[in-house]
């Protein structure tokens, strides 16, 4: 596995691989690697891509300084893990190269209106501006590529897809299925902050989604079932929503067909999210 730090080396490497006939598979991460990241690398390798993984804890997507400070950083563990996953090149760009003005605000921002200011965006102002801005920069430096994102961050995936479409970036965005532990908890770098008690309560997020899927009724009833399941487990409910998968707009009770149920909750100070596809039908 090749390790890269500088943007120019990263840019040259991607260009050289494309010139040799390879397609670049970009796997953006913030480190604290786990099996969910491994699944993204596996998807890229299955497509025959030359896999470039980036590790960069992006401060611009944290609206809470305490959350940024608490975010796990495990570079010494991440490097051998990335190599074991089959990553071809690991890029760990410096803050100075990614955001030269930091810690002052960066003058240039990419914002995706409508998709980035609801759900997670409503409770975390500026979060998706930070996400869209960093992904745009990763894509621009890498150049023509396929970029792999997990469906656990479903809203992020929707934001990135829209940004790529609107800006005409030469990137094919590939969504990959959620990876879960045996107990059903969606894999997340934040899970390391949960003790045994908090983890048991965190399982209410996946149970809430299962309750909504089993109900299959009008969206309002599904929302109530999800919120009740999380509240019963003493999880602070961020949201429990049923939306159109493309626009993320909440669905009314006259909607029918495929939809996405999304939940967010805070367990002992740790914010977790989860989602799944559901089928909605009209109420009586």
Instruction: Answer for the pair 114, 28: CB distance below 8 angstroms, yes or no.
Output: no
Residue that has been written with the tokens 């409503």 in this structure: 122
Residue that has been written with the tokens 């998709």 in this structure: 115
Sheet of strand 145-150, all strands in order from the earlier edge strand to the far edge: 2-4, 89-91, 50-55, 24-29, 145-150, 171-176
Half-sphere exposure of 9 (CA within 13 A, CB side): 13
SS3 of 251-272: CCCCCCEEEEEEEEEEECCEEE
Helix, strand, or coil here: 255?
Answer: coil
Task: Report which DSSP code applies to 151.
Answer: G
Rounded to 5 degrees, what are φ and ψ at 105? -60, 140
The catalytic site residues sit at 37
DSSP string, 118-136: STHHHHSTTHHHHHHHHHH
Residue that has been written with the tokens 């149920």 in this structure: 261
């Amino acid at each position: 596995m090749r390790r890269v730090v500088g943007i120019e080396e990263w840019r040259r490497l991607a260009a050289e691989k494309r010139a040799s006939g390879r397609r670049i598979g970009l796997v953006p991460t913030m480190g604290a690697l786990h099996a969910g990241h491994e699944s993204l690398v596996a998807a890229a390798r299955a497509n025959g891509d030359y896999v470039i993984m980036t590790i960069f804890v992006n401060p611009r997507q944290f609206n809470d300084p305490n959350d940024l400070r608490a975010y796990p950083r495990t570079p010494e563990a991440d490097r051998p893990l990335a190599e074991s996953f089959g990553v071809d090149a690991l890029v760990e760009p410096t803050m100075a190269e990614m955001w030269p003005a930091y810690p002052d605000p960066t003058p240039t921002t990419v914002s995706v209106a409508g998709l980035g200011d609801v759900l997670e965006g409503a409770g975390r102002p500026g979060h998706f501006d930070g996400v869209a801005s960093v992904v745009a920069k990763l894509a621009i430096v890498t150049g023509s590529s396929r970029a792999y994102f997990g469906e656990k961050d479903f809203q992020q995936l929707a934001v990135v897809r829209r940004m790529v479409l609107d800006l005409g970036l030469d990137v094919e965005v590939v969504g990959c299925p959620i990876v879960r532990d045996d107990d059903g908890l969606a894999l997340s770098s934040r899970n390391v902050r949960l003790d045994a008690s908090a983890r048991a309560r965190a399982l209410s997020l996946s149970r809430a989604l299962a309750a909504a899927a089993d109900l299959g009724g009008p969206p309002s009833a599904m929302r109530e079932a999800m919120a009740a399941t999380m509240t019963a487990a003493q999880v602070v409910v961020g949201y429990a929503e049923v939306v159109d998968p493309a626009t993320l707009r909440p669905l009314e009770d006259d909607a029918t067909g495929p939809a996405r149920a999304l939940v967010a909750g805070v367990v002992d100070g740790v914010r977790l999210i989860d989602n799944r596809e559901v089928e909605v039908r009209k109420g009586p």
